[in-house]
Structures are given as structure tokens and as C-alpha cells.
Structure 1
Amino acid sequence: MGRLFPLTTTPGISDAATRWLSGDRWEIAEPRRASTVMLVRDPSDAFGATGATAGPEVFMLRRVSEMEFAPSMHVFPGGGVDERDGEGDLPWSGPSPLEWGERLGCSPTEAQLYVAAAVRELFEECGVLLASPSASGPLAWVGDAEWRQVRADLVSRAVSLREVLVDRGLVLRSDLVVAKAHWLTPEFEPRRYDTWFFAAVMPPSQVADGDTTEADLAEWVRPADLLREYEAGSALMLPPTVMCVEQVRDAASAADFVAHADLTPLVMPEVVDAPGGAAMEVVERV
């Protein structure tokens, strides 16, 4: 038996799960590829040299209640892949798409889609861009009004990530992200995602702002505090988010956390009829 996540506090998901368990089945949705990023920093980065032993903080968004998928949930910055993320001439440095494909267990093209989407979504949703003029130089400064317009153009899909990088003379820094987990939305959900969870250290030269219409709250959180709120029912999170936040909580530092996971099997929760009602069961493969 795996770990159970009760659904009683998430009415929309709980209702669909209960119907599914009762035999009311519908066509299983095709999963959409997506990427999300756990952006972490040490407390000392913001509060002086007082919290270095407390473990890293992570940047979280709370999705607006009107969202069709995961309304009011605490999530990491992320979203669906744009097919243009896979453009062959996208300026790139760090491990190649071929190397990333070997790590993610997919083709180089698909690996590029996931990594590029992670970098793009991180910029779109919190203003942090992991790109620089050279393969090892300082990251681009993206805090002015001109870059805010670039960000808005990316969100509206008026431009692609490749176009932005080429126009600004930048290269995507694939060496600044690592793969941490791979999750697939359960079959009963009408909107499904095949999602890679990445991690990155917050660049000291940039600012995470959470300026996105998809969230009504954006903040750096201490994982232990957020997990206590989740247990008390005052913060909502899906199982992948809970388990990833637990991993951040258990890390000694941001740098310690931002290392490739040794094992990243595809995990898909199953909906089960638990004593307290519908629940998601997560079986971690080893």
C-alpha cells in the first residue's frame, strides 16, 4: 500500500474521484506535457546570516480560485510546453538536449521541450530568467520596463523563447536547472499533465515577483511552515507538490537540494476508496 492523500478538502477533485470510483467513467484525457520549477534559496540570502542552518526556502504561488486546474492550490511556477520551445536553433548552453534526453528517458527534442519550458515558465510567472550572454557569464538583468514587456509578450505567445534569446544575444542556461521528479495526473481528472519537476537556485542578481494573473499570492515560504498549514487544512496542495515541498524541507541548503535526483520514475497517483472517502494513493517506485 502506498501513501494516501485524502481529497475531502478539495471539492472539485473529490467529486470527480467519487464519481469515478462509483463506476461513472468518461474518456481518459490525453496528458499535456508541462514543466514546473522549484526555485529555492537559503534564508540567509534574504535575512542575513541567521538562517543558514534552517534549510532552504522555496518560491510558491497560490493559484486563483477561478482556474480550471488546481484552483486555490499552492504550486511552483510552471505550465504547459509551447511547441516552439523545441525549435532546433534555440540558443543553448550547458548539458545538451541529447544529454538531457538520456537523463529524462526521452528523445533530445522532447527533453529540450521540457527544459526550455521550465526556463520560459519561470520567467513568465516570477520574472527569473536563467539565461546569460555566454555559457558561464552572469545572468541577464531583466528588471526594467522593457523586459516586463518581453515577459508579457511571452505570456501572450506573441514571441517564442528562441526569438527572445536571439534578439537579446542570450543563451539558455540548462546547467542551472536539475531534474527532481516526474508525475502524471491521474486518469479520472479531465485535465491531465505529464510534468517534470525541476529545481534551480534563485539567482542573486534577479528578483522573484510572482507577477502573474494566474496567482493571487506569491511568496517565499519555509517548507515546514507550509506543510503545517497543509496538515491543518489552511493551505491546499496536490500530492506531487506536498512530496516535493517535503524534499525541500529535508535539504540542508539550496545548493544541496539543486542536484539531480538519482531516481526519477514516472509517478501517477491512483484514486482509491479510503475509510474517509476518496483519496489519491501514491506508490513510490524504487
Structure 2
Amino acid sequence: MSELTGTAATVVLLRDSGAGPEVLLLERPTAGSFGGAWVFPGGRVDPEDRSGGAPEAAAARAAGVRETAEETGLVLRAGDLVPLSCWIPPENIPRRYQTWFFAAKAPAGDIRLNPGELLNHVWLQPADALDRHRNGLMQLVAPTWVTLHSLSNDSSADAALARISDAEPETFKTRPLTGYEPAAVLAWAGDEEYDAGTPSAAAGRPARHRLVMEKTLWRYERTS
């Protein structure tokens, strides 16, 4: 079992289009962290983000602002970031960053990618990004996929931000489940197999809070 390596931040940038809200996704090089995946802007908390002994959540907010500027050229204020979720990786991996996810309305301006760190960018509706992943055209990692899934039914960027602001940020402390091979299954609090004390859902259905990953056919299951 490994201790947490540190704290990181991810920023989900939203803008409106004629067809509905879009999010900004960035393509990582094949070498390095999340190699080949499309991710939201973000990165780890640096010492400069902890000025004045800022607590972890505040340091993550500062890192989100800084990383967004470094990776995209878009400048945000700390107050623009709305807490969305917190992700904690499984205990059996060597480098574990607790990552705070924030949502924000994208400011005006052109995207200027950080050379060498990013290959490409695209604005997509969340459902379109999930379709690309399913069809093998875009590689996503679990936190990105689940976040896109959560944004799929919002009618506008403002509606998404209002919904997120009204909710308590959820913590996803990830635990892999075994016995479902060849599918990979990740579970979180509220799943019957994650916590033996979780009662079954209504009508005797198993309590579920998991992501089932069968090649590129992924399925989010939640009964509450």
C-alpha cells in the first residue's frame, strides 16, 4: 500500500455552442503521465501554490489557475473555479495524487498549448467525447470519463456551473474490484462490493457505484 504522493488540480473549462455546452480536452504525448490520453488542463500542486501555508484545497485551486494558464494560455481567477470533485487513486499504485477537480466558464481568448507537454486540443460536447472514446478515436482515463458523463445532460455552461455550485463536491476514493475479468471495474463509496455495510438498493437490487470498462465500452452504474 502506498501513501499519497501529493496533491494535484484539474480544471474543466466550459463554453457554450449552438448545440450545447462544450468542454476543452488536451491531448498528452504518448510518453509521460496519462500518455496518449485526452485530459482536462491541470497538474500537481507546486510549492508556489502553497504561499502563506494555504490548505490543500486552496493550494489546489491556485495550481488549477496556474496550470490552466501554462497549458492553454487562458487566464482564470481563483474565484472562477467551482469545486466539482476530489479523486483519490487506488492504494496499489506507486504514485498517488489526490486530485481536486474544478469547473469554470472558459474566458475569451485563443488556446496556446505548452510546447512539448501537449499535442493538440479540441472543444467537444461531453457526449461527443464519450462517443469518440467508445469508437476508439479518443483515449480517456476514468476520472475524465466519469466527469464527462456527469456533464452530458446540462443545457448550457451556466446551467452546469449552477448545478455544480449547488452540490457538495464528491470524493471518489477508487478501489478496483476483482472477479469481472476481462472487464476492469472501479468502485466507489456506495457500491455494495466497495463497502460491505452498504445496504442493497430498492427492490433488492445490488447497490452500485462503479465504472465497468470492457475495452472501449465503458458503463457507469449508480443506484443512488
Normalised TM-score (structure 1):
0.61
> For residue 39 of structure 1, what is the aligned residue in structure 2?
13
Contact 2:176 2:187 in 1 (8 A): no
Structure 1 residues 261 and 233: CA distance shift in structure 2, 3 A: farther
The answer to whether the aligner puts 1:115 opposite 2:61 as a matched pair is yes
Partner of 1:250: helix, strand, or coil? coil
The 5 A counterparts of 1:1-286 are 27-43=1-17, 51=18, 54-67=19-32, 69-88=33-52, 109-130=55-76, 173-204=77-108, 206-259=109-162, 260=165, 262-277=167-182, 279-283=184-188, 285=190
Partner of 2:151: helix, strand, or coil? helix
Size of the aligned set, in residue pairs, is 189
Gaps of at least 5 residues in structure 2 are 191-223
The one-letter amino acid of 1:78's match is: G
Percent identity, please: 34
Residues in 2 aligned to 1:31 and 1:203: alpha-carbon distance in whole angstroms? 32
More helix per residue: 1 or 2?
1
Contact 2:177 2:187 in 1 (8 A): no
1:167-190 CA-to-partner distances (Å, cap 9, x unmatched) read: xxxxxx322110111101112222
Structure 1 residues 252 and 79: CA distance shift in structure 2, 3 A: same
More strand per residue: 1 or 2?
2
Q: Post-superposition shift, 1:108?
A: 5.3
Q: Post-superposition shift, 1:74?
A: 1.1
Residues in 2 aligned to 1:245 and 1:236: alpha-carbon distance in whole angstroms? 13
The one-letter amino acid of 2:69's match is: F
The one-letter amino acid of 1:199's match is: A
Residues in 2 aligned to 1:32 and 1:71: alpha-carbon distance in whole angstroms? 20
Structure 1 residues 29 and 213: CA distance shift in structure 2, 3 A: farther
Partner of 2:152: helix, strand, or coil? helix
The one-letter amino acid of 2:71's match is: E
Larger relative contact order (Cα-Cα within 8 Å, sequence gap ≥ 6): 1
Contact 1:115 1:174 in 2 (8 A): yes
Please identify runs of 4+ aligned residues in structure 1 that moved more than 4 A.
none
Q: Post-superposition shift, 1:121?
A: 0.5
Note the aligned Cα RMSD (angstroms). Answer: 2.0
Residues in 2 aligned to 1:266 and 1:188: alpha-carbon distance in whole angstroms? 18
Partner of 2:140: helix, strand, or coil? coil
Partner of 2:56: helix, strand, or coil? helix
1:78-113 CA-to-partner distances (Å, cap 9, x unmatched) read: 00001211213xxxxxxxxxxxxxxxxxx9532320
Contact 1:209 1:218 in 2 (8 A): no
Q: Post-superposition shift, 1:284?
A: 5.0
Answer with 1 or 2: which has the greater Rg: 1
Residues in 2 aligned to 1:126 and 1:82: alpha-carbon distance in whole angstroms? 18
Residues in 1 aligned to 2:100 and 2:38: alpha-carbon distance in whole angstroms? 17
Q: Post-superposition shift, 1:245?
A: 0.9
